[in-house]
Amino acid sequence: MLSKAQEVLQKHFGYSTFRPQQEEIITNVLNKKDTLVLMPTGGGKSICFQIPALLFEGVAIVISPLISLMKDQVESLRANGIKAAYFNSSLDPVQERQVINSAIDGEIKLLYVSPEKLFTITNTWLKDVQVSMFAVDEAHCVSMWGHDFRPEYTQLSNVRKQFSTIPFIALTATADKSTRKDIVKQLGLRRAVVYLSSFNRSNLSLEVRANVPKNKKIKEIVQFIENRPNQSGIIYCLSRKQTEEIAKELRNNHIDAQAYHAGLSADTRARIQEDFITDDLSIITATIAFGMGIDKSNVRWVIHNNLPKNIEGYYQEIGRAGRDGLPSTTRMYFNLKDLMVLKRFASGSEQSPIYTEKLQRMLNYAEATSCRRKILLAYFSEDLKEDCGNCDVCKNPPQFLDGTVLAQKALSAVRRTNENIGVNMMINILRGSANQELYSKGYQNIKTYGVGQDLSFKDWQHYTNQLINIGVMEIAYDESFKLKITNFGNEVLFRNRKVKITQAVDRVIKSKEKKSRAKKLTKQEQFFEELRKLRASIAKKEGVPAYIIFHDATLQQIAAELPTSENDLLTIQGINEIKVERYAKPFLDLIKKHNDSKLSTFEVTYRFYQQGISPEQIAEERELSMTTIFSHLAKLYADGKNIDLSIYVNDNEVQKIREAFLKIKTTNALKPYFDYLEEKIPYYKIRLGLTIIMTELAKTKTNG
């Protein structure tokens, strides 16, 4: 059965090997066992139930919370030649009857339904359908411990009882230990096997910016976007008002952006979402309601305008960037006001203790002075052995200083005002501000007035946030956010207990915010843009999102390898026979036109090589990437040219690649080798090693 699963993977999805754990999960489902899958966004969850659905007799029922999510999944499946449909409130009676008949007659393999719709059909026409399996997507919605609890999901345990012999698979990208246990319990899963994939999305860079003034923040965001032309991105905001304000500011700076929130009409939201999916709109400013139903693979960045409510939500939201595996950027802004608003939300909820604790964990992450990815993964019970090197803390390690005197100054101001002031007033007192409210209360007469005037207001905010977070002082939310001294604070103030805090590092980051000069595109990047335009035109004609035709990662591989035949196209990740049949001609025509416009790119590289010029120099001279140059050398070697690949990949590395080849038994993709070799051998060496191995095998066959 597993060999058939691999055939389906290649035929319908265009991949030659499974990602980590997909094979085991699919085997478990095919053995009709209940399964819980925790896999990060973009990690390949859908394939875990879609392939079993294609191999089972009958129709798989996929329970999904959003209409947009169902529509997107069904369009993607149909583009891959898979018969699928959805059954939700967007259908008219005629369309409903068509779906019902198709399901009963077994003409579709996957049927997507919302929980609400499922409950209306379980005792009616669903009884006449041969149900093969149930897949519960976004399964964290079933748990009150989850970040997006939905009461309607809790009734799914009744469906599990009714279809007691049918396997259930529950899938989510975000669930801590408590949520995982609750999912199994609430769904009534039986002896469920739990698969916990790595949550490490190493292609996402992580950055947090604290206490940036509003006007400066807008300027930073504008520069951020201008430095990334033509890239898709999402800016998440805490309120509808903020989404409108930021979108307007961006448009005032000649950046096309639209706000998305629940206050807009359904038609307006649908239009904005459609424009974003089809790349007609690059930037969305949105409340967290946006994105759950979006499977757009080429979102290149996500910005949080405010501190998120919890780590689960934050992880899911940043996970909407870089789903194609290409490098992507995430940035979070936050300040004390965000914390106050979120604390108020949390305290007013029925689940106040839970929400407050989750908010505290989110704050701990934002205030981190060590590798952020380690903290993020630890939340999901994953241990990252080494610092990631791709977060702002790793890139700019903070400098610690003895903050005891600073803390004592702040605590003294709070004590001498009888713990009757908030953060801003405390800072104004320390800086000796001529503030009207300050003078009206006589605070200019206290001994602490002006003792901190050597520091800026922003620096004092930075240090005060840390003093609050380490427990030197606390905010009394039920007393108009007044500052109170803790036991720890009293020890600092009266017993000289030492306090270590991080130095304000805004000057370091500020230098990076300067607008970068426009970078000249390499020839490969220029051709990638041509491929994107072709993809966009085909997508518009077919009325589907561009990424349903081909992902950006697929186009990048095409631009690098320049396949010249249908068979060559089939070696590109994400291209299957159906897509070759539909789209090969226009793409091959464009590649031919590109190749005919110049001397063979391989011949040019070979001429440079013969002159003794290094690959690095060739790449610079030809304005191509190193990856492309090494792919040229590999092809030239395979074609019998006098190329010495041992300069770039040694015998020991070739042997390791040979061992991987005997295990993987395919050369269609390099990522399986990269994963198998524990990311210790770079992609270009894997390509060269495989070329040596395949050339040796070809000679053996010829001589044999």
* Domain region containing 117: 2-196
Q: Are residues 111 and 11 in the same domain?
A: yes
> Residue 63 CB: number of other CB atoms within 10 A?
24
Has residue 310 been placed in a domain?
yes
Tens of pLDDT along 130-147?
A: 999 999 998 888 876 666
Q: How many angstroms separate the first and last alpha carbons of the chain?
A: 34
Tell me the per-residue pLDDT of 517-546, one tens digit each, with 9 for 90 and over: 555 677 888 899 899 999 989 988 988 888
pLDDT at 513 over 50: no
Domain at 381, CATH number? 3.40.50.300
Domains: count for the chain: 4
Report the distance separating Cα 453 and Cα 428, nearest Å. 9
Tell me if 497 is assigned to some domain.
Answer: yes
The pLDDT value recorded for residue 503 is 79
Q: Is residue 512 part of a domain?
A: no
**Considering the domain boundaries, does residue 517 fall inside one?**
no
Residue at 516 is within a domain = no
d(CA 698, CA 348): 71
Same-domain check for residues 216 and 191: no
Vertex 641 angle, CA 638 and 642, to 5°? 120
515 inside domain: no
Residue finishing a domain among 378, 395, 412: 395
Mark whether 243 and 309 lie in a shared domain. yes
pLDDT band at 507; cut points 50, 70, 90:
very low
Q: Which neighbouring-strand residues pair with 87?
A: 113
Kindly report, residue by residue over 559-618, the tens digit of the pLDDT. Answer: 988 888 888 888 888 888 889 989 999 999 999 888 766 667 788 898 889 888 999 999
Q: For 630-684, what is each residue's pLDDT tens digit? A: 989 998 998 889 999 999 999 999 999 999 988 887 776 787 888 888 888 988 8
Res 270: pLDDT: 81
Report which of 238, 136, 239, 122 is spatially closest to residue 186, judged by C-alpha positions.
136
In a domain, 511, yes or no: no
CATH classification at residue 424: 1.10.10.10
pLDDT at 511: 35
Range with the poorest average pLDDT among 175-179, 181-185, 386-390: 175-179
Domain boundary among 357, 377, 395: 395
pLDDT digits (tens, 9 = 90+) for 271-313: 888 888 888 899 999 987 665 556 688 899 999 999 999 888 8
Tokens of 113: 């339904």
Question: pLDDT of 427-485, one tens digit each?
Answer: 999 999 998 999 999 999 999 999 999 999 989 988 987 788 677 888 775 677 789 99
Q: What CA–CA distance (Å, rounded) separates 544 from 582?
A: 14
Q: Could you tell me which residues come within 8 angstroms of residue 368 by beta carbon, excluding any fewer than 6 positions away?
A: 208, 375, 393
Q: Is residue 514 situated within a structural domain?
A: no
CA-CA distance, 201 to 320, in Å (whole number)? 11
Q: Are residues 374 and 496 in the same domain?
A: no
Residues 557 and 685 placed together within one structural domain of the fold: yes
Q: What is the pLDDT of residue 175?
A: 78
Q: Are residues 413 and 387 in the same domain?
A: no
Same domain, yes or no: 15 and 97: yes
CA distance 294 to 631: 34
**How many angstroms from the chain centroid is the CA of residue 353?**
28
What pLDDT digit, counting tens, does each position of 8-42 carry?
888 888 887 888 889 999 999 999 999 999 988 76
pLDDT for the residue 509: 40
Q: Given pLDDT bands bounded at 50, 70 and 90, which one contains residue 498?
A: very high
**pLDDT greater than 50 at residue 350:** yes
Final residue before a domain boundary, out of 196, 223, 254: 196
